[in-house]
Amino acid sequence: MRKSKSFFVLPILILMVVSIFLTGCGSNSVVAKYEGGEITEGEFKNFVKVLKTVDSRLQSYIDNGDKDTLELALNYMVMTRYVSNEVKENDAIKKAANDNLALYKKSLEEQMGGADKVKQYFTQQNVTDAEMNQFFLEQSELEYYFSNGITEDDKKKKYEAMKKDGALVVADVRHILIGTTDKSKDEAKKKAEQLVKQLRAGGDFAKLAKENSEDPGSKDNGGLYTSDQLPLSSTDPAFKQAALTLPINKISDPVESSFGYHIIRVEKRNELKYDDIANDLTIEVAKDRQNDFMLNKLKTITKKAEVPKSMIKEPAQQPAQ
């Protein structure tokens, strides 16, 4: 199953790391300085407002004043402002921005039940059409900057590296999760072992998954995750290792992960060929370039980056044991 904690790692395809040049409400005090410009407190607040609208997974982190998330957001904003200054806007970038925004809105309409619901959502978040347009324009500038100049050799090297790491393997996996949130590890493992015996004796996996699994993402589907639903790279390491190595259609012993104990059956598995993912490899190389920028170049161009203290909330103190 997927890792439950989604931390501020933003894929370059979605590119939730763009700045907003429109001045937001708030102080004009400078919170960041970098080669070529600066960011005011009002602009940063406006940025995080749009950011949490586009990626709702970040809303609780930002609203709760999580210091790490806000610092990452400010660093991303510095990077994006710098990149935007470096990129010369052209028709291709504008078209990509418009296309990406249209796809994003279409996806939201499908999730929320129509364009009126999406409009209402943006109104509730106090985000305007102009801000969304600017957001996706800078998204496209960022994508262009990190994708520009990627060669076939770059992509082939990335393919081989991903192949070595097992990142190219896709699989249809059926599993039953026995969690440990409401029971001890020993109790969970014992129940998992009992289910393994039933399955190896000919029990119906889908039926037993519906009756016993504690994974809401797959329970109603008989425990099944298809390869397009569950990239193995997003799963717990123990689950991933089992999915990569378990013989096809064999019932696993209980596999312990951070979620509990899994009984796993791999129903189909294959390795993606270079031609299947050539376009995706461009994105992967661009992500590596973006990560390298954040880890190395950012500190050389940043003169100041301080999240306003008013935006940070200290975590509640745990009572003494």
Per-residue pLDDT tens digits for 171-210:
999 999 999 989 999 999 999 999 999 999 999 999 999 9
Residue 78 maps to a domain: yes
pLDDT for 318: 52
- Here the CATH number for the domain that contains residue 228 is 3.10.50.40
What number is the average pLDDT over the span 235-263?
94
- The model's pTM is 0.71
Tell me how far apart the alpha carbons of residues 319 and 321 are, in angstroms, rounded to a whole number: 6
Phi and psi (nearest 5°) for 22?
-70, 135
Strand order in the sheet with 37-40: 37-40, 30-34, 302-305
For 213-230, the pLDDT digits (tens) are 999 989 999 999 998 887
Domain assignment present for 163:
no
Asked if 243 and 232 touch (Cβ cutoff 8 Å), the reply is yes
- In this structure, are 181 and 252 located in the same domain? yes
Rg (CA), the chain: 23
* Same domain (yes/no): 179, 235: yes
Same domain, residue pair 88 and 187? no
Residues 51 and 99 in one domain: yes
Residue 26's pLDDT is 53
Q: Give pLDDT, residue 310.
A: 93
Cα dist. 300→58, 91, 286 in Å? 27, 31, 20
Please check whether residue 198 lies inside any domain of the structure.
yes
- The H or E element spanning position 33 is strand 30-34
% of residues, the chain, pLDDT over 90: 77
Does one domain contain both 283 and 146?
yes
3 phi and psi, to 5 degrees?
A: -65, 135
In-domain check, residue 321: no
Residues 294 and 227 in one domain: no
- Does 217 lie in the same domain as 133? no
Domain that holds residue 194: 169-270
Instruction: Note whether residue 9 is domain-resident.
Output: no
For residue 317, pLDDT over 80 is answered with no
Would the pLDDT of 320 be above 90?
Answer: no
Statement to judge: residues 185 and 259 lie in one domain: yes
For residues 236-255, average pLDDT: 94
The per-residue pLDDT for range 13-35, each reduced to its tens digit, is 333 343 333 334 457 899 999 99
pLDDT for position 235: 87
137 and 193 assigned to the same domain: no
- How crowded is residue 38: how many other Cβ atoms within 10 Å of its Cβ? 14
Residues 230 and 137 reside in one and the same domain:
no
Number of domains in the chain: 2
Q: For residue 316, what are the CA distances in angstroms to 59, 109, 183?
A: 18, 37, 27
The average pLDDT across 293-312 equals 96
